[in-house]
Amino acid sequence: MGIVLLVGIVVVALWFVGAYNKLISLKNQVANAWKQIDVQLKRRHDLIPNLVNAVKGAMDFEKSTLEAVIAARNKAVSAAGSGVAQVAQAEGQLTQALGRLFALSENYPQLKATANIQQLQEELTSTENKVGFARQLYNDVATSYNTAQQQFPTNLVAGVAKAAPAELWQIEDAGDRAVPNVDLKMS
Amino acid sequence: MDESGNLFAQQESNRRRSFWLVTGFIFFFAWVGFGGDIAWYLMTSGPAGGETRAQPLGPLHSPHTVPFIGIVATLLAGAICWYSWNKGADRILWSTGAREIFEASNDQEQRLINVVEEMAIAAGVPRPRIFVVPDPDPNAFATGIEPGKACIAVTEGLLARLNREELQAVVAHEMAHVRNFDTRLMTLLAAMVGAIALMSDGMGRILRYGNVSGRGGGGEGGKGKGNPLAIVILVLWLLTLIIAPIISRLLAMAVSRKREYLADATGAQFTRNPLALASALQHLDEAAQPTRTITQGAAHLCIVDPSGSQLSAHEGWLGDVFSSHPPLRLRIARLRGMGYQLAKQAGQLPAES
């Protein structure tokens, strides 16, 4: 009888350790995924001045739009490092400003004759994709973490592991859902 | 269920099936290795342990407590596995003539680098090394026993034929193989298949030459009579040895197919765009030339069977069991099913009238 009890205690202890470690691992994955987003957002912020310079010559008359893009970019840079919601909002506004800029670039055929436009298009597409995938990974991992915290029996360990639900990167505004269509091709 | 599950359900189902297949394989391997030992032990531990015989005691007469056969089999598989894990990736890449991309030399390569980096982010793994194989036939493969040491290779034919979305889907499929440790698993299984083939061959030789020199036939008969169980096990084991090479290959191919489906579904999770992979597979199906630079040894690592084999096009039983890849049409059907589920979730389907 004593042996059975002992074995039972050992099993429970092992389970406890396993569940605790799993929560810690997920928490660290979430933090890592968030940092990955930071890296990609910084890339995006760094690329925007190049973009604006590349189109400035041709789009002289669209000063207000260009300035709006730079302003949104600066706001996003300053929002970096604060919580999920603030960053999501600032980045969403930057996406919208970029969308307006690309829509306007349709009116400037001489833009398409500018050198390096193909490379720029690829860089921009890739950057937007990377931000998107980093966000997706973060949401996926955060969801796993939240699910693990809520599921029985791991939720019993959640308090000890100091596990707090991670905030997902929601898309607030329907306008933000529209990925800017980067099309600077000749057609 | 299979064609209609969403990409998460499909991943779970494929993981479960490959787990049971691998468990079955391990038990099969254990039987091939230790079955002979069990029979031997039973035969030599009978009541007439050989002491009353006039003949001198030999290895076939003394009690057999150390399972030599099983140990040898395990060591053999372990050695093959260790060698493949450490040297295999380099050898395969070298044999295809692949060249590594460090800096893009043209737009296509820049696009490839960007796509691989995007998928590495989506998969949550470090960026793998990128290689291009100078073959006009479209194909792609991934090697590397763990995400930190992974290499992804695509052929020039693939780069030329697919658009950005489709390229992204193919790279996502390969990254899925990397993240699911498929190379490690398939190399382990290939090592076990190799060890079984060697053992089957080796045992066959021993038994043939053993019979010719009349290995203590009289002594064996006298002891064995007392233990029918030993005879039964011995016979079963010998039969297994004869068909073991085929059975082990079938099991390994079955696991390979499940992992291919799993990689399709995991890749679709990365891109959230299963239809892009379906479209890419369709292009690959149309260009069904063999990829000559990729040998059979690396076949299971590719996205489509490099032998351009019509075997994988058939959906009958024979095609199913001997092919390392599932039939392309079934893969495309499952991907379309996932696409349907995604569209339904996003509310993009037209309302039912």
Cβ B114–A122 below 8 Å, yes or no?
A: yes
pLDDT at A81: 76
Confidence of residue B219 (pLDDT cuts 50, 70, 90): very low
Interface predicted TM-score (ipTM) of this complex, two decimals: 0.73
Instruction: With CB atoms and an 8 Å threshold, state whether B110 touches A33.
Output: no
Q: B121 vs A126: CB contact, 8 Å cut-off? A: no
Q: Which one of the listed residues B3, B146, B174, B220 is annotated catalytic?
A: B174
Global pTM reads: 0.79
Residue entry with tokens 């968030």: A34
What percentage of residues in chain B have a pLDDT greater than 90? 16
At residue B225, the pLDDT reads 46
More confident residue, A91 or B41: A91
> Residue B312: pLDDT above 60?
no
| Strands ordered across the beta sheet of B151-155 | B99-100, B129-133, B151-155, B140-143
Contact assignment for A40 to B117 by CB distance below 8 Å: no
B104-129 residue pLDDT tens: 888 889 999 999 999 999 988 899 99
- Does B107 sit within 8 Å of A133, measured CB to CB? no
The mean per-residue pLDDT over the stretch B185-192 comes to: 82
Instruction: Give the model's pLDDT for residue B49.
Output: 42
> Which residues on chain B are in Cβ contact (under 8 Å) with A136?
122, 272
Residue B142 has phi, psi (to 5 degrees) of -130, 140
pLDDT at B118: 93
- Give the pLDDT band (50/70/90) at residue A115: low
Active site residue B146: no
Cβ–Cβ below 8 Å for B124 and A40: no
Tens of pLDDT, residues B161-176: 999 999 999 999 999 9
Q: Which amino acid is at B304?
A: V
Q: How far, CA to CA in Å, does B113 sit from each of A112, A132, B42?
A: 24, 17, 61
Q: How far is B168 from chain A (nearest CA, A)?
A: 11
**Domains of chain A, start order:** 20-177 (1.20.1440.20)
Supply the mean pLDDT for chain B.
78
Point out the residue among A29, A122, A134 whose CB comes nearest to the CB of B121.
A134
pLDDT at A43 > cutoff 90: no
- In this complex, is the C-beta atom of A119 within 8 Å of any C-beta atom belonging to chain B? yes
Q: What angle is formed at CA B97 by the lines to CA B96 and CA B102, rounded to 5 degrees?
A: 120
Q: Which of B114, B118, B124 sits opposite A33 (nearest CB)?
A: B124
Q: A74: distance to nearest CA of chain B, Å?
A: 25
Contacts of A140 in chain B (CB under 8 A): 269
Cα–Cα–Cα angle for B42, B44, B46, rounded to 5 degrees: 75
pLDDT tens-digit readout, A47-99: 888 877 777 776 777 788 888 888 888 988 888 877 788 888 888 888 888 87
Question: Cβ(B281)–Cβ(B305) under 8 Å?
Answer: no
- At residue B115, the pLDDT reads 94
Q: Which residues of A113-130 are buried (b: 16+ CB within 10 A; e: fewer)?
A: eeeebeebebbbbbbbbb
With bands split at pLDDT 50, 70 and 90, how would you rate the model's confidence at B48? very low
- Interchain pair B118, A122: CB under 8 A: no
pLDDT band per the 50, 70, 90 thresholds, residue B278: very high
Count of beta carbons in the 10 Å neighbourhood of residue A84: 16
Looking at residues A168-174, what average pLDDT do you find?
64
- Residues from chain A that touch B114, judged by Cβ atoms under 8 A, are 122-123, 125-126, 129
The alpha carbon torsion through A155, B15, A137, A153 (nearest 10 deg) reads 0
Q: How confident is the model at residue B297 (pLDDT cuts 50, 70, 90)?
A: low
| B contacts of A129 (beta carbons < 8 Å) | 114, 118
Show Cβ contacts of residue B307 under 8 Å, excluding neighbours closer than 6 positions. Answer: B290, B296, B299
Please judge whether A122 and B124 are an interchain contact, meaning their C-beta atoms are less than 8 angstroms apart: no
Mean pLDDT confidence for B293-300:
66
pLDDT (tens digit per residue) in B138-154: 889 888 888 888 899 99
A positions 33-52 inside 8 Å of B (CB) = 33, 36, 40
Using CB atoms, pick whichever of B121, B164, B272 lies closest to residue A130: B121
Gap between the Cα atoms of B141 and B15, Å rounded: 21
pLDDT digits (tens, 9 = 90+) for B191-217: 888 888 888 888 777 777 765 443 444
Does residue A151 belong to the interface with chain B, where contact is any CB pair within 8 Å? no
